Amino acid sequence: MFKVIMKFSMKFSMKFYCAFVAVLLLLQGCYSGQRDMARFMVPRPEEEPPYREKAEEFVRYAQAGDVDKMLAITSTDSFATQSDSVLTIYAQQVVPQFAGSIVTWDAHSHGNIDEHNNAGLMFTGTARGTKSFRFDIAVMKEDGKFVVINIRKHR
């Protein structure tokens, strides 16, 4: 009787352990095939220049206070989720931060995958003006053209 109970217990515990590990991996995102495939889509170093040029272009428009041109190179996905708040954020927060500043860029970009598993590049820069701050700007390819999908200031 003891041998039967031990045999059943070991089979049950092994199945339970395997199920537990699978659920744990799933919850950690290691099992997300779409996200894993997006990692292979991150642009290679030799593909970086047009992404970097778009990030620099966006910052030049911010320095000049040209919100319309900033919006023209912003992802349409941003408009779909945030409507006119993008215009407000650019006009009231981004443009004043960059007004009169001099921007320097870090030499290397980093791969970036958004919440929809789109791959692009993240650039980090430093703006020096009335206040100095570091910022990140993410650029992706959308419908065959390069667009800014996010800009954020470091804390």
Q: Which residue has the higher pLDDT, 70 or 44?
A: 70
Q: What is the pLDDT of residues 5-58, one digit of tens each?
A: 545 555 556 665 656 555 555 555 544 444 444 455 788 888 899 999 999 999
In CATH, what is the architecture of 43-153? Roll (3.10)
Q: Which residue has the higher pLDDT, 17 or 149?
A: 149
Angle, CA 121 vertex, CA 119 and CA 125 arms, to 5°: 155
Rounded CA-CA distance 76/93 in Å is 20
Q: What is the pLDDT of residues 91-142, one digit of tens each?
A: 999 999 999 999 999 999 998 887 777 789 999 999 999 889 999 999 999 8
Rounded CA-CA distance 101/128 in Å is 5
Look at residue 37 in the predicted model and tell me its pLDDT. Answer: 47
The count of other CB atoms within 10 Å of the CB of residue 84 is 8
The answer to whether residue 71 scores a pLDDT higher than 80 is yes
Instruction: Quote the pTM value.
Output: 0.72
Look at residue 28 in the predicted model and tell me its pLDDT. Answer: 54
Query: Going by C-beta distance under 8 Å and a sequence separation of 6 or more, which residues neighbour residue 46?
Result: none
